[in-house]
Structures are given as C-alpha cells and as structure tokens.
Amino acid sequence: MSERIVFDVDRDGWTKGLQLNIAQLDENGSGTGYRLHGPKYNGSSKNLIRHVVDERDAAEIRQMLDAVFPPVAVPSRAEVLAEAKREVVAWLLKKAGEYRATGKRQREADAVSVMASKIDRGAVRLFLDEAGKVTRDAGEITQPAEKGEPADTCDRCRQPFDPSDARFDGRARHLYSPFCRRCVDRCHESTDAFHVCAVCRTADQPPSALRDAEIQFAVYGTITLSDWRYLELAPDYYGHTYMQIGGWLPEGWDPEQTPAGTQQMLRARLHGYAVPHDLPVQVSTTGYGGPRRFMKIQWRKGGESRG
C-alpha cells in the first residue's frame, strides 16, 4: 500500500484516556503524526479505531478547512529576495545621505552610493533566484530552474528549502537537519524534555561529523550510542538541573544486556565534551516503532570539572 493518511482513536495504557491522532504513513506503516486530543503518547496506547482517509474524505475536509482557515499566500523566494534587495539599497542610500550631511565624509558617501547602485542593477550578485539569476524587482521575477533538476526539500513536508525564509517557522533548513524550520516548530511535543521524534532528535551538528558515543557502566560494560545528543535540561520544580545523554542503541541490541533504572556510569566518551565519570545515573530506553531503541542517561548537574 502506498502512502496514506489515517485517523486513529487510541486508549492510553496509563491514564485510560482517549487519544485522537492524524498520521501520514508510508507503505511500511511508518510515518509522522499529530495528536489532536488526549494525553501524550508514551508507548502504552492501544488502537481502538483506525480510519483511512480516501479522496472523498480529503475533498470534504479540505473544503471545510478552506472555508474556516483560508489558505495564506506564501511569497516566492524571488519575491522575498526582491523585497530584501530594495530594503538594502534604500538603507545604503540613507547612510550615504547621512555621511554627506556631515560635510566631512564625502568619500564614504560616494563609496556607499556606488555600492547601492551596483546592488540595484545586479552587478553585485547578492540576491539570486532559484535559477541563479539576479532578482531585480517584483515585476522582473525570473522563472525557476529547469524541470528535472533535483530539489532540496524537507524530509517531512516535502517543500523546497528557502534559505531566505529564516523565520522561526520559515522554510529555511533547520541547522544541519533534513527538516525545515516550520516542521521543527510544529512539533508540538518538543516542549517535553523526554520527547524524541524524527524531527526533534536531529543534532545541532551534522551526524556524519559525530563519532559514536561510548558509555561504560559498572555492570553492563560498554555500550555504543549513535546520533547522540548531550543536553542540559530545564530546571525541575525544585530548581535542580539535570544533564542528559541521549542516543540510539545498535539495531538488534539484546534487551537483557540493556541497563535500566539507577546505574553506575564509570565513563562516557563523547567527542568534543568532558563528561563527569564514576557517578550514579538514571537510565531509560524507549522504542519508537523501528528496529532500534533510544537510550537516555540522566544525572543531577554537578562535578562537570571532572572528566
């Protein structure tokens, strides 16, 4: 079966509360979802109802959404760049006028005026559209690149990245991740320090630049974690701050060889970080529907000078 949209009604195993979720699934049943109602998912839910959205459902839902939430026109990259260029040119001309007004900075004023003129006519290639052509103004927006060229798109919404749209919920790429800022911002579970999903687990550095972490426990020996993160969590109710190492266990790792609860961490080797050693930590492991499980190691902050 190809990609599909489903509505799920689940029952949380902990609170027994009902959960309503919409999800986009691929042919293997994996994908991303958005919780519409009920407690957060914690892995204990049991599915009660699943409805696969067909074309008729999609048309009716889209019509109702458009009636209440009309689509907002998003300016193209060329339009955004054209506006940015106009603002830069206007600012340069303003500075040139200020310099001339002093009566002592004519050389600076002339240089700034020349720069503004070059940017305005495209001699300085700062504002380029998708085809690599100079964007002049909204009336001269050039066409995008030829069809068939590979598009650099977000892995979640499949929309092209727009480096000029650097708003917190814009279309620019989020750090080195394969996701745009909009999709990262729309992860409504990200306020939970314990939440890790396909979007939120993206590190602030390219994964290829990170070596696997090696965590040595007193009882379970050394465990390797990939795609890891080293975080300082927000203070708890009592004002205590905790550190956390989170990473993915190797595929097929034996659950019986996986530490849990209170453990003694002898040493943690994280490339680029000095981590305290020989201290008690809390260890938890969670599965997210794939062949690998995510491990989190936490301890109360203090003693970071050791390592």
Q: Which of 63-72, 177-186, 195-204, 294-303 has the highest mean pLDDT?
A: 63-72
Q: What CA–CA distance (Å, rounded) separates 203 from 228?
A: 7
pLDDT of residue 82: 81
Judge whether 162 and 114 are in contact, CB under 8 Å: no
Distances (CA, A) of 148 to 58, 78, 151, 172: 29, 20, 9, 22
For residue 222 the two structure tokens come to 């050394």
pLDDT of residue 10: 94
Sequence ranges of the domains in the chain = 4-68, 77-140, 210-300
Q: What is the pLDDT of residues 93-149, one digit of tens each?
A: 888 888 888 777 888 888 888 788 777 766 666 665 555 454 544 333 333 333 333
pLDDT of residue 38: 93
Q: What is the pLDDT of residues 170-225, one digit of tens each?
A: 888 776 567 787 877 766 444 444 444 545 554 344 443 357 889 999 999 999 99
Which one, of 287, 209, 204, 207, lies nearest residue 251 by Cα?
Answer: 287
pLDDT of residue 297: 93
For residue 77 the two structure tokens come to 């990259």
Q: Please give the mean pLDDT across all residues of the chain.
A: 78
Torsion of CA 296, 297, 303, 306, to 10 degrees: -100
Which one, of 73, 19, 29, 41, lies nearest residue 197 by Cα?
Answer: 41
Point out which residues pair with 8 in neighbouring strands: 21, 50
pLDDT of residue 122: 67
Does the predicted TM-score (pTM) go above 0.85?
no
If DSSP codes are grouped into helix, strand and coil, which group holds residue 208?
helix
Q: What is the pLDDT of residues 14-25, one digit of tens each?
A: 999 999 999 999
